[in-house]
A and B are shown apart, each in its own frame.
Chain A
Amino acid sequence: MKKIFAIGIFIGVAALSCYAQEKKTNTIPSINIKKLDGSTMNSDSIRNDGKPLIISFWATWCKPCVIELNTLEENYKEWQKETGVKIVALSIDDTRTSPSVGPFINGKGWDYEVYLDPSGDFKRAMNVNLVPHTFLINGNREIVDQHTSFSPGDEELLYEKIKRVAAGQPLEK
């Protein structure tokens, strides 16, 4: 048992040091997800022609997620005009609530591209623990920023980051 633990720690450290040296950014993994019409598509098809892209993991039953997407919606038209950003709302609703995702979105009047991940494959590949979990992706499909949870006001910080990404500037740490 001790041996395994030691090996585990060793790998962790080794892997992390490799990772640090590389300074490579993670990109979006290629995973099969579902469209609202029930057909399958690959996450590779989520694109925004080199402009900033936001993927927000959410669920119809998650209150802060709905508050976040409502807040982003209020700014979406303006943000699109200024930066060309596209927002994708990726629902992790399971088959209990996934049939009502389409009606829910329309009932709210949201303008997002919406996909489903009922099996959780994409959620796991993106290391999403809790929702909301929102990713900011640059024109090279690299994940440049991510955050979990949402408080009113967070959208202004997000927009600052979107503007930098749209202008091809690096994000401050």
Chain B
Amino acid sequence: MGTEKPKADLLPGTLDMLVLKILMRGHLHGYAIAQLIQQLSDDLLRVEEGSLYPALQRLELNGWIDGEWGLSANNRRARFYKLTTDGRKHLAEASARYRQVTGAVARIMGFA
């Protein structure tokens, strides 16, 4: 049941961080980002489209990613996102913070 609702279970800001991390791989469109998150988490995390697009808008508004129109693999117009310098910086900060938090949680839970 827990795996069905990744959004609710994620720590705040996690989705933003995941999207940024995925975009380290290069220019990707929304659908590809969602797919990649799902695959890389072994189907454990499923990004709801309802959260993905607001997140992309938010990231763009903050200047962390840039959107550009281009052609997809099967020649369809799609919007590709890429990481900006600010975005890289933010990702570094966010992942450091995330590591701290999860580390702390893990210590308490006795996982570490």
A and B bind: no
